[in-house]
Amino acid sequence: MLDESVGYTQRKKSSGELSCSTKAVETRPCDASGDGRDAGLSLHASAAARDDHLRLLLSDDYTPHHLVTAGNWTIQFCDTATGQKAARQLGGALVEHTPGKR
């Protein structure tokens, strides 16, 4: 379903997260990843584990986050528009975080 929503290619799995490239990477690559991947999908054991993961991501003052979450998963996007589209199409909630603004 995520693939249909925003494209999901060039997959790479590591330490419980699946990172990938979305269609947005062609026009707005993610500088932080360095390898062209601009989305990271994480599955969590429970809603509490998901919430802990979100708190950890939101505590990072260096990297902007456009997070989509529902159930026991989160997806971290580098591009705002891609995060918004995924949230709409996947029925998730969008959590925006801009470093330095709380």
The DSSP-derived string for 33-97 is: TSSS--EEEEE-SSHHHHHHHHHHHHT-SSS-EEEEEETTEEEEES-HHHHHHHHHHHTPEEEEE
- pLDDT on residue 93: 92
Tell me the torsion sign for CA atoms 83, 32, 55, 48: positive
* Tens-digit pLDDT profile for residues 65-93: 789 998 888 888 877 888 898 899 889 99
- pLDDT on residue 100: 62
Instruction: Write out the H or E segment, with its range, that includes residue 10.
Output: strand 9-14
Q: What is the pTM of this model?
A: 0.75
Look at residue 29 and tell me whether its pLDDT is greater than 60.
no
Contact assessment for residue 47 and residue 29, using Cβ atoms and an 8 Å cutoff: no
Task: Supply angle C-alpha 11, 14, 15, rounded to 5.
Answer: 145
Token pair belonging to 41: 């999908």
Look at residue 52 and tell me whether its pLDDT is greater than 80.
yes
Of the pLDDT bands very low, low, confident and very high (cuts 50, 70, 90), residue 51 is very high
